[in-house]
Structure 1
Amino acid sequence: MTPEQAALLILLVAMLFLFSLDRLRIEVIAIGGLLAGYVLGLYPADGIFAGFASPVVITVVEILLVVQVLARTKLFDSLAERFVVSRLSHFQVISGVSAFSGFVSIFMNNIGAFAITLPLVLRLSAVMGIPRRQLVMPVSFAALLGGLVSLIGTPANLLVSDALEKATGKGFRFFDFAYVGLPVAILGILLITLIAQRLFSEPDEPAAAPHPPARRIVVERSIPEHSPLVGATLAQCPERFGIQPHALVRDRAFVFGPLEQSVIQPGDVLLAQGADLIFANLAACQALVPEAHPHGLQPDFASIEAVVMPESTVVGSRIASLEVFRNRGVTVSALSMRSPRIEGRFADLQLSIGDILVLEGPKAAIAEALEECECLPLASAVPFPTSSASWRPFAIFACGVGASAFGLRPDIALAFVVLALALVGYLNIRHAMADLNWPIIIMLGAMIPIGQAVVTTGTAETIAVWLGLAFPIGHPLWGIALVLFLAMALTPFVNNATVAIVLAPIALEFARVGQHAPQAYLIAVAAGASQDFLTPFGHHNNTLSMSIGSYRFGDFLRAGWPLTLAGYILTLILIALFWL
């Protein structure tokens, strides 16, 4: 192994490790790795930023622009009512909604498909009494499975197609992935529906119940004079009132000391965590009183839940610094957070992806603020702007997909879609570009030169030789099985685009060593990179579903391993049938 190859491997391992820790922002890691590769001499100066001109990055940008338009339409709102009146079983409803999520994901990125389907999921949970935990995870996983079917379903597919085109002069066609992806998606949706109903079998709420299953939230409330909490100690709060205290403030100063000696007095401010229904009951009996709304209760006053999306501008911000809400008279009254660390006061809490905000204020102001900061409302009462003819954006998009399916390059076809949406007034490109998920785009553009260096430095060939000594990769099925295993082992810890960038050169080298067609190996990379079901942090969909569905880390392992095992076996069989 040459020093150059050793340096590249060390760089890749270090970047994968940092990605998996999720401590630094992904764009910071990617840019740092990109510059480190230049310092190490892995690519020339004119190749550092070549990845940002890649058709893959351009296509991802175009898809995200189109998703912004489609997510604002109300074309599918009537689906909820149809499910309600159809009198289908819970299994049929869960599998049907999941199939819809998977179908949408064929034509847009996974997060966009999940976001479009999520309001439908929450409405069905509330109206039909289906436990939220039985719905959210299957729909999230279905969005990942749907991405297996088409060229634009997920960035991993675009990346392996780009690698194939560079190696052979011709990439994959639009639905080449469907031979493997469609059967795997169908099996996966049916399997996760069964698993979710078995694992999360809590008794259904009555169909007419107006509230979803309880969620743990953090609130900061005042103690009125006649509150039943007056005279109780902080140590007694969990047993007597069902809440976990985190801080007690008196005269704007923290009350320190053992919990058994910290007695609650009238006028104190309590920071506590517990089920939302418990706090609702305590508020109803005037045991806890929220601070007065800064602008009073206006006629259009509303209380709306919203989830912090991966592209939200408030990620990493503290509640005290959320001017986007404060300037519009909107108050953050409660927070359901993923982080177990609760320090300081409520205003000091830091937001992360998947946290759920409870916002109070005028409906129009909440809608405007959520649109600006890219948070997803979880209540249909928020009046987001919609198109007067919501089918037209979908028709324009369908034309672009059809053109791509008949041979036009996806980046060119989608460029026509973006232009058409802008010309007819559905898309403001200037505003939409500002709202893009730039960390993902930067990560893609920065990782492409590093992935190409795996080929140009001979590192892929060296790795293939090493693995060839341990496995009989001369037989194509053994090599494909190994590539598929590596992809599915990495993707729970690293995003699927990075997995595709790292493994595509190794898969091509496997094919060259065994003198086989490379298509089967690259299909294995793409399919394995997108079957991410074992952890809540491997994909943003999993992170969001963990918070919205109130899952634990172990729930992903319990639900994900049968799906992962079945997906691995079926993917291998289908590749052998259609690509060997």
Structure 2
Amino acid sequence: MSFEQASLLILLLAMLILFSLDRFRIEIVSIAGLLAGHALGLYPADQIFTGFASPVVITVIEILLIVQVLARARLFDSLATRFAAAKPSNFKVIAGTSSLAGFISIFMNNIGAFAITLPVALGLGTALAIPRRQIVMPLSFAALLGGMVSLIGTPANLLVSDGLAKATGTGFRFFDFAYVGLPVAIAGILLISFRVQRLFPEPDKAPAAISSVARRIVVERRVPDVSPLIGVRLSDCSARFGIKPHALIRADNFVFGPLDQSVIEAGDVLLAEGGDTTFTGLATAQTLMADAHPDGLQPDFARVESVVMPESTLVGSRIRSLEVFHSRGVAVTALSMRAPRIEGRFLDLQLSIGDILTLEGSRTAIAEALEESECLPLAQTVPVEPAPLSWRPFALFACGVAASAAGLHPDIAFACVVLVLALLNHLNIRQAMADLNWPIIIMLAAMIPIGQAMATTGAAETIAGWLSIVVPIADPFSGIALILFLAMALTPFVNNATVAIVLTPIALEFAKAGQHTPDAYLIAVAAGASLDFLTPFGHHNNTLAMGIGGYRFSDFLRAGWPLTVACYGLALFFLALFWL
């Protein structure tokens, strides 16, 4: 193995570890890896930023721009109202909303499909008293499954098609992925819709309230003069009151010392973590009280939960710096965090993707702030100004899909759609560009030269040689089974685009070593990269679902492993049936 090959593999391994740890912003890791690759001599200076001009990246940007227009139309709200009036069974609601997410995901990115259908699904769940934990996870998984069906369903499909085009001169057609993706998606949606009712049978404690799902939140609350907490040691708070104290503040100063020696006094402020319903009960009993919002008695006052989306400007910010809320008189009163790292006071907490904010203030002010910060409200309790319902954007998008399916390059087809939407005033390109999920785009563009170095340095050929020792390369079925397994093993820990970038050159070399056509191997890469059901951090959809649904890490393992096994077997069967 040459120095370039060894250094590339070490670089990729380091980046995959950093991606999976989720401690650093993905765009920072990607750019650092891109520059490190040039420093190691893996590609010349004139190829460092070629990924930003890649047709794959351009197509992803165009799809994201179009999704912004389609999401504002709120086309499915009226359909949900009619569906709820029919009083369907829980299974029909779960399977129906999940199927809707899967269908939308065929034509746009997974996160967009999840975000569009989430309010509809939560509204139906609230109206029909369906536990939220039975709705959110299937919705996330369905969006991932739907992305397997078409060329534009997920960046991974575009990447493997681009790899095939560079290797053979012709990429995949628009619905080539459907031969495997469609039956797997249908079976997967039905399976998870059936299983969640048995995995999460417990009803929400207050079906009419959107905040009814018990999850752990971090708050800062004051100890009133009549509180039973007075005189209690911090070490006893967990056993007696069900909360975990993180800091005790007295007269704006921290009270330091061992937990078993720190005693709570009247007027103290407690920074604590616990179930959201626990703090509601403590407030009712006047044990811990939140400071009253000045607008609390106004008719426009609202309390709203919202989730931090991947494209949100709040990612990485601390609560004290959220001028988008403070300037409008909106208070952040609680925070549900996927991995709490509590240092300092409540205002010092740093936001991550999937965190859920509890906001108090004017309904109008909250709506404006959420729109500006790209956060998603979890209930339609704030006024939203939807675009006038028009079929024109959907018709234009359908024309773009048809043109792409007919053979026109997707980047050209959807560029035409973006242009016409802008000319008809459905899309403000300047504003829409500012609202894009740039971290994902930067990561995708930065990883492309690193992926290409897998082929140019010979690292992919070397890895393919190692794999040929594990499986007989003369048998293509064994080869695609291994490639599919590798993709599925990686995608729970890193995003699916990275999996596709890393494995595409390896799959091409593996097919070349066995003297087989590479189509089946690349379809296996794309399919495996989308079958991400085991962890909450492999895909942003699962990260969002964990916070919104109040799931534990083990819940993904319990729900995901039968789905993963079933989808692996089905994908392998249809790969052999249609591509070998």
Q: CA deviation at 1:207?
A: 6.0
Change (3 A) 1:208 1:506: closer
Q: Distance in 1 between matches of 2:406 and 2:457?
A: 36
Report the identity percentage. Answer: 73
Aligned to 2:511: 511
The answer to whether the aligner puts 1:326 opposite 2:326 as a matched pair is yes
Q: CA deviation at 1:244?
A: 2.8
Identify unmatched segments of 5+ residues in structure 2: none
Residue by residue over 1:134-190, the C-alpha shift from the partner in whole angstroms, topping out at 9 and shown as x without a partner, is: 111111000000000000000000000111111111111111100000000011111
Q: CA deviation at 1:420?
A: 1.7
Q: Distance in 2 between matches of 1:206 and 1:88?
A: 20
Residue by residue over 1:74-132, the C-alpha shift from the partner in whole angstroms, topping out at 9 and shown as x without a partner, is: 21112332332222211111111111110010011000111111112222222212111
The answer to whether the aligner puts 1:522 opposite 2:552 as a matched pair is no
Q: Equivalent residue of 1:333, what SS?
A: strand
Q: Distance in 1 between matches of 2:312 and 2:209?
A: 31
Range moving further from structure 2, 5-14 or 130-139: 5-14
1:142-221 superposed matches below 5 A: 142-203=142-203, 212-221=212-221
The one-letter code of the counterpart of 2:378 is L
Q: Distance in 1 between matches of 2:571 and 2:79?
A: 32
Residue by residue over 1:442-469, the C-alpha shift from the partner in whole angstroms, topping out at 9 and shown as x without a partner, is: 1111111111111122222222122112
The one-letter code of the counterpart of 2:70 is L
The one-letter code of the counterpart of 1:111 is I
Q: Distance in 1 between matches of 2:557 and 2:149?
A: 24
Q: Distance in 2 between matches of 1:209 and 1:437?
A: 31
Q: CA deviation at 1:210?
A: 7.0
Q: CA deviation at 1:297?
A: 4.5
Q: Distance in 2 between matches of 1:405 and 1:263?
A: 69
Q: CA deviation at 1:289?
A: 2.9
Range moving further from structure 2, 287-296 or 507-516: 287-296
Aligned to 2:313: 313
Q: CA deviation at 1:533?
A: 0.8
Aligned to 1:102: 102
Range moving further from structure 2, 392-401 or 550-559: 392-401
The one-letter code of the counterpart of 2:352 is S
Change (3 A) 1:365 1:9: same
Aligned to 1:552: 552
The answer to whether the aligner puts 1:437 opposite 2:437 as a matched pair is yes
TM-score (structure 1 length as normaliser)? 0.96
Aligned to 1:464: 464
The one-letter code of the counterpart of 1:424 is L
Q: Distance in 1 between matches of 2:486 and 2:3?
A: 25
The one-letter code of the counterpart of 2:386 is T
1:160-309 superposed matches below 5 A: 160-203=160-203, 212-293=212-293, 297-309=297-309
Aligned to 1:374: 374
Residue by residue over 1:223-279, the C-alpha shift from the partner in whole angstroms, topping out at 9 and shown as x without a partner, is: 222334334443443344333332222211222334444333322222222222232
Change (3 A) 1:203 1:25: closer
Range moving further from structure 2, 368-377 or 239-248: 239-248
The answer to whether the aligner puts 1:18 opposite 2:11 as a matched pair is no
Residue by residue over 1:515-567, the C-alpha shift from the partner in whole angstroms, topping out at 9 and shown as x without a partner, is: 21111111000000110111111110111111111111111111111111111
Change (3 A) 1:481 1:212: same
8 A contact 2:204–2:213 mirrored in 1:
no
Change (3 A) 1:236 1:176: same
Range moving further from structure 2, 295-304 or 470-479: 295-304
Aligned to 1:494: 494
Residue by residue over 1:306-342, the C-alpha shift from the partner in whole angstroms, topping out at 9 and shown as x without a partner, is: 0011111111211111111101111001111112333
Q: Distance in 2 between matches of 1:502 and 1:96?
A: 35
Q: Distance in 2 between matches of 1:512 and 1:319?
A: 53
Identify unmatched segments of 5+ residues in structure 1: none
The one-letter code of the counterpart of 2:163 is A
Q: Distance in 1 between matches of 2:33 and 2:256?
A: 45
Q: CA deviation at 1:290?
A: 2.1
Residue by residue over 1:411-436, the C-alpha shift from the partner in whole angstroms, topping out at 9 and shown as x without a partner, is: 11111111122122221111111111
Q: Distance in 2 between matches of 1:579 and 1:481?
A: 13
The one-letter code of the counterpart of 1:168 is T
8 A contact 1:102–1:185 mirrored in 2:
yes
Q: Equivalent residue of 1:387, what SS?
A: coil
Q: CA deviation at 1:211?
A: 5.4
The one-letter code of the counterpart of 2:273 is Q
Range moving further from structure 2, 249-258 or 123-132: 249-258
Q: How many aligned residue pairs are there?
A: 580
Aligned to 2:69: 69
Change (3 A) 1:231 1:36: closer
Aligned to 1:132: 132
Residue by residue over 1:376-405, the C-alpha shift from the partner in whole angstroms, topping out at 9 and shown as x without a partner, is: 111212223211124332222122112211
Q: Distance in 1 between matches of 2:271 and 2:208?
A: 32
8 A contact 1:318–1:349 mirrored in 2:
yes
Change (3 A) 1:23 1:39: same
Q: Equivalent residue of 1:329, what SS?
A: coil
The answer to whether the aligner puts 1:423 opposite 2:423 as a matched pair is yes
Q: Distance in 2 between matches of 1:511 and 1:102?
A: 31
Aligned to 1:363: 363
8 A contact 1:128–1:208 mirrored in 2:
no
Range moving further from structure 2, 411-420 or 196-205: 196-205
Aligned to 2:572: 572
Change (3 A) 1:244 1:83: farther
Q: Distance in 2 between matches of 1:513 and 1:534?
A: 32
Q: Distance in 1 between matches of 2:544 and 2:170?
A: 37
8 A contact 1:74–1:390 mirrored in 2:
no
8 A contact 1:75–1:391 mirrored in 2:
no
TM-score (structure 2 length as normaliser)? 0.96
Q: Distance in 2 between matches of 1:429 and 1:157?
A: 26
1:84-99 superposed matches below 5 A: 84-99=84-99
Q: CA deviation at 1:303?
A: 0.9
8 A contact 1:72–1:384 mirrored in 2:
no
Change (3 A) 1:311 1:206: closer
Q: Distance in 2 between matches of 1:430 and 1:204?
A: 42
Change (3 A) 1:499 1:210: closer
8 A contact 2:74–2:389 mirrored in 1:
no
8 A contact 1:479–1:510 mirrored in 2:
yes
8 A contact 2:536–2:546 mirrored in 1:
yes
Q: Distance in 1 between matches of 2:390 and 2:306?
A: 23
The one-letter code of the counterpart of 2:79 is L
8 A contact 1:127–1:210 mirrored in 2:
no
Q: Distance in 2 between matches of 1:445 and 1:211?
A: 38
8 A contact 2:477–2:576 mirrored in 1:
yes
Range moving further from structure 2, 54-63 or 227-236: 227-236
Q: CA deviation at 1:205?
A: 5.2
The one-letter code of the counterpart of 2:552 is R
Q: Equivalent residue of 1:571, what SS?
A: helix
Change (3 A) 1:90 1:39: same
